């Protein structure tokens, strides 16, 4: 399908492998987060966000804003965004 859409073999393979890798990585991270939450009550991501949000506003304003946004995103937001960006790639 990708080569029929004017992607070269190299471009088609890179796009396909990125989608596969994104999917596998997402599934692994979701599993790790769930296991950590079950074991410790919070996930590593939640702990990191809490640490960032406790930093001084004056020293880390953009990092704190990013952490605040991250804390409000649904769990699959990164996956959906990454997949959407990858699939918007057009052959050169």
What is the rounded radius of gyration, in angstroms, for the C-alpha atoms of the chain? 18
Sign of torsion over alpha carbons 24, 25, 27, 31: positive
pLDDT one-digit tens code per residue, 27-62: 998 898 889 889 989 888 888 899 999 999 899 999
pLDDT one-digit tens code per residue, 57-89: 899 999 999 999 988 888 788 888 888 888 887
């Amino acid at each position: 399908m990708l080569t029929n859409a004017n992607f070269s073999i190299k471009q088609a393979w890179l796009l396909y492998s990125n989608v596969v890798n994104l999917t596998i990585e997402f599934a692994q991270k979701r599993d790790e987060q769930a296991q950590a939450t079950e074991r410790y009550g919070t996930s590593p991501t939640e702990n990191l966000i809490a640490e960032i949000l406790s930093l001084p506003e004056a020293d880390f304003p953009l990092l704190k804003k990013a952490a605040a946004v991250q804390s409000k995103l649904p769990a699959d937001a990164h996956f959906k965004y990454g997949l959407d960006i990858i699939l918007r790639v057009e052959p050169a």
